[in-house]
Amino acid sequence: MNYTELSKEISYILRHNPQEYGLTLDKDGWLELEALVSALKAQEQYNHLKAEDIENMAISANKKRHEIHNGRIRAFYGHTLKEKIEKEPVQPPEILFHGTSRKSAENIVKEGLLSQDRQYVHLSQDRETANRVGKRKDKEPVIFAIDAKHAWLAGICFYMGNENIWLSDPIPPEFLREE
């Protein structure tokens, strides 16, 4: 079983288009694991898929993108669905980071961090992850340090993505510092 391909397919379903597979997520982004298995088994490459395969994929992944609990599965972050996935606000660390392209950095300085086509702004727990994310768009990314402590105190909500990724509502420019 190719876990990388399976992870990509499941991420697509849980983050972007469950309807394409005849599936519906609940308000918190959860889906019954067996419903996901059944939908994937309709594709020839997954006709022997078992729930254990998905569980093993989630456990062995380097990047923790999925959460499985009580026979249900959901994506931690990256949603572009029209229906907003509800998350509980959590006090963030004092500083978080965001890596982006030089072109996007110009708008961020003026407008702050916006979620764009995703439901939440994506932030990194450390500078290295932000740099890696930024390099997807630009070989010389711009890294912003976010004063998450003061943004939180000003009423901006933050949410856990996974151990390296944080999510937030839009963050005004006064809480950003270009590194």
Report pLDDT digits (tens) over 67-92: 999 999 999 888 887 777 888 999 99
Report pLDDT digits (tens) over 106-145: 999 999 999 988 889 999 999 999 999 999 889 999 999 9
Q: What is the mean pLDDT of residues 26-47?
A: 92
What CA–CA distance (Å, rounded) separates 102 from 165?
21
Q: What is the mean pLDDT of residues 5-32?
A: 90
- Quick one: tokens of 41? 């088994």
Q: Which domains does the chain have, with CATH numbers?
A: 3-75 (1.10.10.970), 95-178 (3.20.170.30)
- DSSP 3-state assignment of 10? helix
Res 27 pLDDT > 90:
no
Within 10 angstroms of residue 107's Cβ, the number of other Cβ atoms is 13
Which pLDDT does position 129 carry in this prediction? Answer: 92
Which pLDDT does position 78 carry in this prediction? Answer: 80
pTM of the predicted structure, to 2 decimals: 0.70
